[in-house]
Every structure is written in structure tokens, then in C-alpha cells.
Amino acid sequence: MAAAASSIVGNNILSRLLDRHNRWPFGGLAELLHNSADADASLVSVGTFPTPVGADPFHPHFALDISDDGKGMDHGDMVRMMRIGADESIGRKDKRGKIGGYGVGFKAGSLATAHTAVVLSSCLEKRTVSVGLLSNEPYEERHERPHVGLVATQSMDTAMVDEETTTVEGRDRILDLIAKINPCLTRERIALWSGQMHGKSGTTVYLCGVRRNPDLPGRMIYEFVNERNGGDGGRSAGEPVGGEYGRGDDDKDVADMPDLRLLAPGASDRDMMFDEFPGRYDDQNAPMDYSLRAYLGLMFKSRTPKIRLFGADVAQRDLAAELVYRRRVDLDLDLDVGVGSDSAIRGDVGLHPPSEKRGLSGAMLYCENVLVSSYARQEFEIPPDERRLGVLLVVDLPKSTSESRTVHDRGFKPKDNKLGFDWAGKKRFRRKLRAEFLAYEDWADAERDR
């Protein structure tokens, strides 16, 4: 029974991880979706638990539910998931094409969002179902030792414990702890989940004790927005609704959808949104900074996996395809990004009308499909005075596979919180990107004046 990890860590171990994501409202939650993508999920749904729409995820007995249909985890995988830090045995090769690599995302990301993560995972290959618990609640409530890395596994077919890894007492203990932390997550509920997953692989993370007041500047609060217009019973869950470019008012579409949003401190009116709050995020008050739905819509460049939020599909956007007067730019830096790969890095630059309308422009940097830096101008020293143009440069950078954060393989490496890059040749890349951007702005300016 792999339940001993908690005995070797200090009480505040999890609290120390919390800060990693507090610069960005939804950065913590994003880590869970990144993990689902790494598990080859074709669909991730973010919902409330229990399911009846209307359940407020901030209620102490409710939770956020992040479920995927990815490859799931067996007992060993679950134990590794709960562990803090990457497994050295996982070589560079296995990290290629994966978003994760540091071995902290799940832990830091969940705990930045909530005090407890309950993980259920079904693994068809091994025909097992596992339950795992990571909870900082004992520490936050009573300064007691947190629950780190408790995992129990049973057979998918017989519901008997997997004797090689789990004792009956071990499983009972975990299930009791979970029910104590969240009385809705009863044994029966978990059994129900297992039944629904019979013959399938997939993973559900329940985030319990969702933080309403994340430690953000200005103490902004989240608000759960649920079917603002009195519900829409006729809509099927699989149908994309709103937000698609070209289907009317872009921002309004997103605003009408169930969402998790940030409000300015003390704001009771939902319309007094984050973008009207002057603060540290001044430079990037894009919808994705205060609306989870807007962020999820841009998170994966390839638009896979598909994402559903509170029962309605997220309109996932391919910004590069939405650019008008688009130009391909070569950001070739002669980088050696790995054997057999093309070292040329190309981007698309063009006008993006919805961004223009919001006065947003800059570089949208993806790293192997995942958004890492949005509307970036400052870091490329692109002067702010021409923002109104709505110029976007969209580029998908290859990920460095080197363990080193610096010059060794001259690749790009997302920071451990996936909110920016470390890269070799950063200066050169910056200069090149800035030059391409400004050249396009000049051209667009000249075109407009004609």
C-alpha cells in the first residue's frame, strides 16, 4: 500500500507549492487540462460536482470536476502522479510532445485552485480503478499533516482490492478520509463512478474546497456564472454555442455562457469585470485573463482535446486561421531543436478583428500546441502605442528536451508554471520577433492610410 509518503514530508510541504500559480488566475486549473492532453484525451469536461447544473463549486460540499477520456492510470502511475518532482527514469524521449515534464503541475495546480484533489482513474489495460487523495485541508484548517500521495486500487470487474498494492484497510481509510473532507464524495458515489467507467479508461479530478479568494493582487474573487439568461434547457451538451468568430458579437457570446470569472474586489455586479479593474494585470486585460471559458478557447492551438465547460462546449479557436491579411514569417534562428526535426520556426502574423476590437495585440506564443504567453508585447519591447491595430503574431514553438534551462540544446522551454519561456538565444529571438511584428504593423498602417 503506497500510503507512506506523508510521513516523510513537512506539514507545510503543499503550502509551499501554492505560489507557483498565483500570478495567473486560471494557471493552476490549466495544469489539469494539460495533463489530460498529455494522456491523449479527446474530450475534457470541466464541471461542477455533484452534477446538477447550478451546484455552486464554491460550496464546501461541492467541487469542480475535471474529467477526461484519456488513457487513465494504474496504481503505479497514480503513485507517481501524487509524487512531487519528475521521475528520473522518464527519459527525454518520453517527454517529447508532452506538455508536462517537471512533475509538479498536478500538485501545484490543484492546490492553487482548491485545498483538496481527489483523483479517480480507470485503466482498461490493467482493468483497475484507483482512487488517490492529495489534501492540504488538515494543514490549512488545523496545521496538521496534509494527506500526500494516498492511493488505493481495486479491480474494475470485481471491485475487490488489488492485493499487490492495496489492503482493504488502506482503501477504507482513503475512502473515509475523502468522505470526511467532502461529504458528497461518499463511497457509493465513487462506486457509481467506477461503474460508469467500466470497460473504459479515463481520469476524474475532483477539486474540493475551491478557493474563492485566490491570493491575487487586489484580492479579486471568482464568480461562478451559470446560465446567465435563465438556462437553456433545449440545448444539447455536445452542441457548440457562441463564441465562434463571425457569429455576431464575440465578447457577448462568451459573456452569456456558464463560466468561472474573476470580479474586481467588492464587485457585486457581474458586469464590473476584471478588465475594468486597474491593477497588476493592466498590460494584459484580455478576456482570457478573467474568463475561464475565454482562456480554454485559446489553450490548445490544435483544438484538441475538445473542452466542455459547465455543460456547454467551449468554442475553441485557431487564432492563426482567423487572421486576415495573414503573412507567414520565418523566425528561423538556426536552432538545433532535435534530431530529425526541421529547425525552421515559422509564425503567422495578421490582423485579428476580435482582438482589434478589444485593443489587444501582441505575440501569442504556443509551445507544442499549448498557450504559454498571450498578447505579449512588453517582453518583446514592442511599443504599446499601436495596440489598436489588433496585430497578432501566432507561433508554435518546439519544446526543448534538454534538462538544462539554458543554452544546451538551444530550444524553448516553458517555465515550470507554463506561464512564459526560458530559452536559449532569447535575445535573438526577441529581436527577430519584434522586427517581424513592427514590419507588419508598419505595413498594415500604410495599407489603412491608403
Ligand X SMILES: Nc1ncnc2c1ncn2[C@@H]1O[C@H](COP(=O)(O)OP(=O)(O)OP(=O)(O)O)[C@@H](O)[C@H]1O
Q: Which does 443 bind (CB under 5 to 8 A by kind): ligand X, Mg ion, none?
A: none
If the CB atoms of residues 148 and 331 are measured against ligand X, the closer one turns out to be 148
Q: Which does 433 bind (CB under 5 to 8 A by kind): ligand X, Mg ion, none?
A: none
Q: Which does 382 bind (CB under 5 to 8 A by kind): Mg ion, ligand X, none?
A: none
# residues contacting Mg ion (CB under 5 A): 3
Grid coordinates of 142: 488545523
Least distance CB 277 / ligand X (angstroms): 30
Site string for Mg ion, 105-124 (x = CB under 5 A): x-------------------
Residue sitting closest to Mg ion (CB): 105
Q: Which does 39 bind (CB under 5 to 8 A by kind): Mg ion, ligand X, none?
A: ligand X
Q: Which does 67 bind (CB under 5 to 8 A by kind): ligand X, Mg ion, none?
A: none
If the CB atoms of residues 105 and 242 are measured against Mg ion, the closer one turns out to be 105
How many Å apart are CA 108 and CA 101, to the nearest integer?
A: 13
Least distance CB 430 / ligand X (angstroms): 24
How many Å apart are CA 429 and CA 445, to the nearest integer?
A: 24
Helices (H), ranges, 274-400: 287-290, 292-299, 319-322, 353-357
If the CB atoms of residues 181 and 367 are measured against ligand X, the closer one turns out to be 367
Least distance CB 392 / Mg ion (angstroms): 27
Residues of the shown chain interacting with ligand X in the complex, contacts defined by CB under 6 A: 31, 35-36, 39, 68, 70, 73, 77, 80-81, 86, 100-107, 203
If the CB atoms of residues 128 and 285 are measured against ligand X, the closer one turns out to be 128
How many Å apart are CA 315 and CA 243, to the nearest integer?
A: 6
Site string for Mg ion, 30-59 (x = CB under 5 A): -----x------------------------
3-class DSSP assignment, residue 148: strand
H/E stretch holding 116 reads: strand 114-123
Q: Per CB under 5 A, which region of 6-14, 96-104, 141-149, 235-243 contacts Mg ion?
A: 96-104
How long is the chain? 450
Q: Which does 77 bind (CB under 5 to 8 A by kind): ligand X, Mg ion, none?
A: ligand X
If the CB atoms of residues 35 and 135 are measured against Mg ion, the closer one turns out to be 35
Secondary structure in 3-state letters for 30-57:
HHHHHHHHHCCCCEEEEEEECCCCCCCC
If the CB atoms of residues 109 and 311 are measured against ligand X, the closer one turns out to be 109
Q: How many helices (H) and strands (E) does the chain have?
A: 13, 17
Least distance CB 8 / ligand X (angstroms): 18
Query: Is residue 100 within the footprint of Mg ion (CB under 5 A)?
Result: yes
Choose among 382, 316, 304: nearest CA to 349: 382
Choose among 290, 253, 317, 308: nearest CA to 26: 290
Least distance CB 97 / ligand X (angstroms): 13
Choose among 15, 3, 38: nearest CA to 399: 38
If the CB atoms of residues 121 and 374 are measured against ligand X, the closer one turns out to be 121
Concatenating the DSSP letter of every residue in 210-245 gives: E-SS-S-GGG-EEEEE--TTT--TT--TTSB-S--T
18: left (phi over 0), alpha (psi -120 to 50) or beta: alpha
Grid coordinates of 429: 529571438
Residues near Mg ion (CB under 5 A)? 35, 100, 105
